[in-house]
Structure 1
Amino acid sequence: MGTAERHGTAVDGGTAPTRRAPQAPDRAISAAGGGREAHGPPVVADEPAEHPVYKPLWVEEPARRRRMPDPVREAAVRAVLVVAVTLIQAVVAFLCTMAESWLAFPMVLSSVASTVVATWAALDVWVTRQVWNQRNGVVSVPSSTARALRRERRRARREERAAERARARIRRRGGAGRLSHP
């Protein structure tokens, strides 16, 4: 690359400036390759620069798994909180024991009790999930018993609504349409 090309003048002695590719700033690193990339077509040195192209901070991706049902999620949050408190109590009990504090014995007792509660909370998540699946069925399984139960309940509700409409229709007519009148 010669001096004339670097300064934007024509090499053949003309007055037309040459076009150069713009230098990409450091923040314009591509996500795929990690190298620099130029944005847009090459720009003439005398033209004003266009607005820079900004990349979003994050890209929304679809969830890989379906969201947990509300009761199961609530039980899981409870379990996480109880386990966190249990771990904190265990650490405090250990530190009190190392420091030979009078608080060591009560903290060890509360840590044992918290371990029992944390085990119960973890089992609660599992039981809540099983109960929810049994009541609402697993959508992806074609032979789900819950789906058959829902179908039967829908059919019964439909028949009950049809019977109620028929009774209301007979009441509106004032008994007309009966085969025998008293």
Structure 2
Amino acid sequence: MPDPVREAAVRAVIIIALTLTQVVVVLLCTLAGSWFAFPMLICAVASTFVATWAVLDIWVTRQSWRQRNGVVSVPSSVARDRWRPLRRRTD
């Protein structure tokens, strides 16, 4: 994975983790009947939009990196060497 795409993915994971933490805090505050539930709910809804944007940022960064740099083609360890000559058809 290229560095810009990896950075976008790490950023998105951190934002999603914070959003899920806020949702849990909202749930616990609601169950406890705290006044803090409503402000946290507003923050959690805003964080949901930010998390959606962060996930889209991964996709956009990946597409733009591919467009600029092309697809990196590295042979895998299971790739065969072309040591055998090609056979001709005898039909």
Are positions 1:75 and 2:18 aligned together?
A: no
1:125 aligns with 2:58: yes
The code of the aligned residue for 1:127 comes to: V
| Distance in 1 separating the partners of 2:42 and 2:30 | 12
- Measured in 2, the distance between the counterparts of 1:138 and 1:69 equals 10
CA distance in 2, matches of 1:136, 1:104: 47
- Aligned Cα RMSD in Å? 0.6
Within a 5 Å distance, the mapping from 1:6-155 to structure 2 comes to: 68-140=1-73
The structure with higher relative contact order (CA 8 Å, sep 6+) is: 2
Amino acid aligned to 2:45: V
SS of the counterpart of 1:102? coil
TM-score (norm 2): 0.78
Rg larger for: 1
Aligned mates of 1:74, 1:108 — CA distance in 2:
28
Take 2:62 and 2:43, find their aligned partners in 1: how far apart are those partners? 29
| Aligned AA (1:70) | D
> 1:113 and 1:101 mapped to 2: Cα distance?
20
Structure-2 separation of matches of 1:130 and 1:121: 14
Once the two structures are TM-superposed, the CA of residue 138 in structure 1 deviates from its matched residue by 1.0
TM-score normalised according to structure 1 size: 0.40
Higher helix share: 2
Per-residue deviation, residues 50-81 of structure 1 (Å, max 9, x unmatched): xxxxxxxxxxxxxxxxxx10000000000000
Gaps of 5+ in 1: 1-67, 141-182
Q: Which runs of 5+ in 2 are unaligned?
A: 74-91
The residue type equivalent to 2:61 in the other structure is T
